[in-house]
Amino acid sequence: MNLLDGINEPDDVKRLSGPECATLAEEIRALLVAEVSRTGGHLGPNLGVVELTMAIHRSFDSPNDDVLFDVGHQAYVHKILTGRAGDFATLRQRHGLSGYPSRAESPHDVIENSHASTALSWADGIAKAHQLKGEHDQHVVAVIGDGALTGGMAWEALNNIAADTSFPPRKLVIVVNDNGRSYAPTVGGMAHHLNTLRTTGGYEKFLSWGKQALQKGGAPGRFAYDALHGMKKGIKDVIAPQGLFEDLGLKYIGPVDGHDLAALEKALHQAKSYAGPVIVHALTEKGRGYAPALADAADQFHAVGIIDPETGESAQKKSTSWTSVFSDEIVEIADRRKDIVGITAAMMIPVGLHKFAAKYPERVFDVGIAEQHAVTSAAGLSHGGLHPVVCLYATFLNRGFDQLLMDVALHREGVTFVLDRAGVTGPDGASHHGMWDMAILQVVPGLHLAAPRDAARLREEVTEAVAIEDGPSVVRFSRGSVGADVESLERLTDGVDVLARGGNDVLIVSVGALAERALDVHGKLAAKGIGSTVIDPRWVLPVPGSVITLAGSHTLVAVIEDGVKVGGVGARVRQDLRAEGLRTGVLELGLPTEFLPHGTREEVLAEAGLDVDSMVERIIAELPEQLARPRRAG
């Protein structure tokens, strides 16, 4: 029997001997490769934290001690050690194991959000709560990837954690999982600071060079040693991060080999004994133990689809993605316009900026996991005479909304936002669905938002977006394959495309990648004798005037969108109709204001009522009775 078969809770890990722990680590890595290669998921990060997670669970007492992960995609090993190894066959599948910590799954899971740089604030609050309630036997352990330290929120938390002088002190242990990477290699000053320690071995090693010079004899050697020793504080600030952390008032342990279980446990037990918050700095290797991941210089298999577990090669049918279409188009635009610059927040490859960066490296900026800085920096670039294109996952725009509103829109700066993974994204679940953007962005004065239905329209609308120089423009598109182009019958003077005509009972307004679905609804309504027109506004905010004009000549408007209904495009159409004195009914066929579960895109859309049959039923139910009765088609 495998050792893994006997791991149902953290106490089971504590009972293992050193050699047994080494065997268990091998079994965990084998399980991760076997299962994640079949379902897809975050492979590289979890291969890198096997020993680290084992050490945490052998040193602390979850769930009495709170163990938090930032970002949650590095929590697979935590799930395994807390009794969920047998569920990995369902990873990221509907009604299966979540790809992130999930309170519904286990009392060992504390925070579910997959947005980075939040765990230290959570840890600060939880530790304060324990302290105020007199729960002095409970520790809070926050595991934060070094990439998450590029986020400003993490430093806001550190500032407050370090300033606490209460007694008895809070029992808070911060474990920095330093693998030199977030998605790709970590960028920024903090990354350079940590990397210097990784490569030099720190102050003591640096000082030993002076000792060696002294032993070799002569005045030069003594001068070197005395100079190094005399500059102790300055050297530590330059080459060792404990200078930075200790200057904040935080105790520091490390760096520790993140794959040496005994060394990790020693460091963690030392941290437990300290009076007050302490940082444990662990050096790990992303993709550890899996040759294909280690050979992948770009992201070390950060996130994979279905792959061949032996070779690491993709086992999925190749198709054209929305991201790849954008990636090629932005390079062509950059060729034509020297003022175009790109910005991303630690997602160069996922958002498709890597080709632009390869051709024009001086014109593309990766700011780390710092969306707020990215957006305001873009405002500055615009003011300086350039046109920035800020590329983010739609879900991460939430983090830079204030900056978009007050720094970009208020100052009428020409900044284009390209939102990848908009709408329902599928297996990554609630925190990754890009379903909030259209509702949030409706309130921004002067903002223009496009939702392309296919590759041709994506190329068109990105070109149109970067031509807007007096305020923010947004282009949002879906995750995955782009599919075939959906041609229009006619383009109206304000850019609205008419996709189908068949009568004036229903005006179907299709937003973005739902055009094929809208045309299927049109066909099924026609079969029931109900005539409809299908249009794609292309630019959905503000609502084009022809949409309102067409709505006035139809009995019902049905707006199909993969954003939340509250405050969505349908709601905006309803408001604009009312403002024009038109009483045409509007049916908002969008997503509920709920945190939607993980599953395939099709499964999640169907559960939200956006499958074709459900939409047809709802449209018929909204029509006046005389129109809803079955009629002979034609």
Residues 407, 381 contacting (CB under 8 angstroms): no
The pLDDT assigned to 628 comes to 64
Look up 399 and say whether it is catalytic.
Answer: yes
Tell whether the model's pLDDT for residue 431 goes beyond 90.
no
b/e map of 237-271 (b: 16 or more CB within 10 Å)? bebbbbbbbbebebbbbbbbbbbebebbbebbeeb
Per DSSP (E only), the strands in 472-627 are 473-476, 490-491, 497-500, 506-510, 532-536, 539-541, 556-564, 585-591
Q: Among residues 399, 453, 459, 517, which one is catalytic? A: 399
Retrieve residue 342's tokens.
């790109």
The pLDDT assigned to 261 comes to 95
- Least confident segment among 113-122, 239-248, 548-557: 239-248
Q: Is position 114 annotated in a ligand binding site?
A: yes
The pLDDT assigned to 185 comes to 52
Q: Among residues 51, 112, 265, 371, which one is catalytic? A: 371
Which CATH topology does 498-625 take? Rossmann fold (3.40.50)
- Cα–Cα distance measured from residue 299 to residue 302, given in angstroms and rounded to the nearest whole number: 5
- Cα–Cα distance measured from residue 550 to residue 235, given in angstroms and rounded to the nearest whole number: 71
Residues 6 or more apart in contact with residue 539 via CB below 8 angstroms: 448, 449, 450, 461, 464, 495
**What confidence tens digit (pLDDT) does each residue in 313-329 have?**
887 778 899 999 999 99
- Cα–Cα distance measured from residue 210 to residue 232, given in angstroms and rounded to the nearest whole number: 12
Parallel, antiparallel, or unpaired: how do β-strands 490-491 and 497-500 relate?
A: antiparallel
The pLDDT assigned to 191 comes to 52
Retrieve residue 594's tokens.
């709920």
- Cα–Cα distance measured from residue 370 to residue 116, given in angstroms and rounded to the nearest whole number: 9
Residue whose entry in the numeric block shows the structure tokens 């001690």: 65
Which CATH topology does 322-476 take? Rossmann fold (3.40.50)
Residues 6 or more apart in contact with residue 136 via CB below 8 angstroms: 130, 168, 171
**What confidence tens digit (pLDDT) does each residue in 507-538 have?**
999 999 999 999 999 999 999 999 999 999 99
The pLDDT assigned to 234 comes to 43
Retrieve residue 151's tokens.
């986020």
What mean pLDDT, rounded, does the chain reach? 88
**What confidence tens digit (pLDDT) does each residue in 215-237 have?**
555 555 545 545 544 444 444 44
The pLDDT assigned to 115 comes to 82
17 confidence band (pLDDT: 50, 70, 90)? very high
- Cα–Cα distance measured from residue 308 to residue 133, given in angstroms and rounded to the nearest whole number: 51
- Torsion angle, CA of 541/546/548/554, rounded to 10 degrees? -130
**What confidence tens digit (pLDDT) does each residue in 242-294 have?**
556 666 778 889 889 999 999 999 999 999 988 789 999 999 998 898 888 88
Which CATH topology does 3-202+240-294 take? Rossmann fold (3.40.50)
Q: Where are the alpha helices (DSSP H) in 40-181?
A: 44-47, 50-59, 76-79, 119-132, 152-163
The pLDDT assigned to 1 comes to 62
Tell whether the model's pLDDT for residue 114 goes beyond 90.
no
Give every strand in the sheet of 506-510, ordered side by side. Answer: 490-491, 497-500, 532-536, 506-510, 556-564, 585-591
- Cα–Cα distance measured from residue 198 to residue 209, given in angstroms and rounded to the nearest whole number: 17
The pLDDT assigned to 229 comes to 47
Parallel, antiparallel, or unpaired: how do β-strands 506-510 and 532-536 relate?
A: parallel
Residues 83, 33 contacting (CB under 8 angstroms): no
- Cα–Cα distance measured from residue 556 to residue 550, given in angstroms and rounded to the nearest whole number: 10
Q: Is position 451 annotated in a ligand binding site?
A: no
Look up 459 and say whether it is catalytic.
Answer: no
Percent of the chain with pLDDT over 70: 87
The pLDDT assigned to 182 comes to 46
Residue of 229 and 472 predicted with greater confidence: 472
What three-state secondary structure class fits 566? Answer: coil
Residue 317 DSSP class: P
Residues 548, 577 contacting (CB under 8 angstroms): yes
CA distances from 515 to 447, 560, 586, 617 (A): 23, 9, 18, 18
Tell whether the model's pLDDT for residue 241 goes beyond 80.
no
What three-state secondary structure class fits 140? Answer: strand
616 confidence band (pLDDT: 50, 70, 90)? very high
The pLDDT assigned to 426 comes to 81
Residue of 216 and 362 predicted with greater confidence: 362
- Cα–Cα distance measured from residue 552 to residue 585, given in angstroms and rounded to the nearest whole number: 10
Question: Which uninterrupted H or E stretch holds 340?
Answer: strand 340-344
Tell whether the model's pLDDT for residue 348 goes beyond 50.
yes
**What confidence tens digit (pLDDT) does each residue in 165-207 have?**
888 888 999 999 988 754 445 445 555 555 554 444 544 454 4
Is residue 255 reached through a cis peptide bond, with omega within 30 degrees of 0 on the bond before it? yes
Q: Is position 115 annotated in a ligand binding site?
A: yes
Average confidence (pLDDT) over 607-622: 96
Q: What is the largest CA-CA distance in the chain?
A: 105
The pLDDT assigned to 166 comes to 81
- Cα–Cα distance measured from residue 502 to residue 523, given in angstroms and rounded to the nearest whole number: 9
CA distances from 359 to 271, 337, 365, 381, 466 (A): 47, 14, 13, 20, 19
CB neighbours of residue 376 within 10 Å: 20
**What confidence tens digit (pLDDT) does each residue in 54-95 have?**
999 999 999 999 999 998 889 999 999 999 999 999 999 888
Look up 181 and say whether it is catalytic.
Answer: no
Q: Is position 147 annotated in a ligand binding site?
A: yes
Closest CA to 516 of 492, 534, 529, 538: 534
The pLDDT assigned to 630 comes to 60
Q: Is position 290 annotated in a ligand binding site?
A: yes
Residues 555, 624 contacting (CB under 8 angstroms): yes
Residue 185 DSSP class: B
Q: Is the pTM of the predicted complex or chain greater than 0.95?
A: no
The pLDDT assigned to 480 comes to 85
Residues 6 or more apart in contact with residue 37 via CB below 8 angstroms: 43, 304, 306, 307, 308, 309, 312, 315
208 confidence band (pLDDT: 50, 70, 90)? low
Average confidence (pLDDT) over 541-563: 96
Residue of 129 and 237 predicted with greater confidence: 129
Retrieve residue 260's tokens.
């040496």
CB neighbours of residue 30 within 10 Å: 15
Is residue 63 reached through a cis peptide bond, with omega within 30 degrees of 0 on the bond before it? yes
Give every strand in the sheet of 251-257, ordered side by side. Answer: 66-70, 140-145, 172-178, 278-283, 251-257
Q: Is position 73 annotated in a ligand binding site?
A: yes
Tell whether the model's pLDDT for residue 460 goes beyond 80.
yes
Same fold, 3-202+240-294 and 322-476: yes
The pLDDT assigned to 296 comes to 78
- Least confident segment among 424-428, 571-575, 578-582: 424-428
The pLDDT assigned to 228 comes to 47
Average confidence (pLDDT) over 25-35: 94
Q: Is position 229 annotated in a ligand binding site?
A: no
The pLDDT assigned to 218 comes to 53
Residue of 391 and 93 predicted with greater confidence: 391
Residue whose entry in the numeric block shows the structure tokens 């298999």: 301
Each domain of the chain, given as residue ranges in start order, spans 3-202+240-294, 322-476, 498-625
The pLDDT assigned to 437 comes to 95
Q: Which long-range contacts does 207-212 make (Cβ < 8 Å, 24+ apart)?
A: 207/232, 207/235
